[in-house]
Amino acid sequence: MANFSHYPLQKSIYQTLTGDTELMALLTGVFDRPPQGTAFPYVTLGESIGSDWSTKTTTGTEQLVTLHIWSREGGRKEAATIMERLHTLLHQADLSVDGQDLVSIQFASSGITLETDGYTYQGIMRFQALLEATS
């Protein structure tokens, strides 16, 4: 297992999100880095923090994954609606992660803030994932 690789989990999350027609009907896209001029609303894959979660018998990592929700819909409702769908798709999901076994993925925290431009709302969601090396 690539203990310090965040990409396999990111790839699985991306595929799960972009494969959901209900979520994609709410968004213009899901991006690692959105192209300049991307229309709102959209989701970006944000920070990923990993730490060792190994035991005497298994090798594993804990990853805290952040998703950013971007909206300009005159209030928090649009961001909140998107966040509800993200929670439905990822909390306790059974994701397939290349080279790793996903033990669990759990919702950890969220928030919605108004950016300094006074128009853009940013939702932030964090999910905690526990992964083990495949045998």
pLDDT for the residue 1: 41
Bridge-based pairing state of the strands 42-52 and 30-31:
parallel
Residue-wise pLDDT tens digits, 113-125: 999 999 999 999 9
- 112 pLDDT band, cuts 50/70/90, is very high
**Residue range 43-50: average pLDDT?**
95
Strands (E), 5-135: 30-31, 42-52, 60-71, 100-114, 121-133
Task: Flag whether the pTM goes above 0.75.
Answer: yes
Percent of the chain surpassing pLDDT 90:
84
**Residue range 38-54: average pLDDT?**
94
Phi, psi angle pair for 57, to nearest 5°: -110, -15
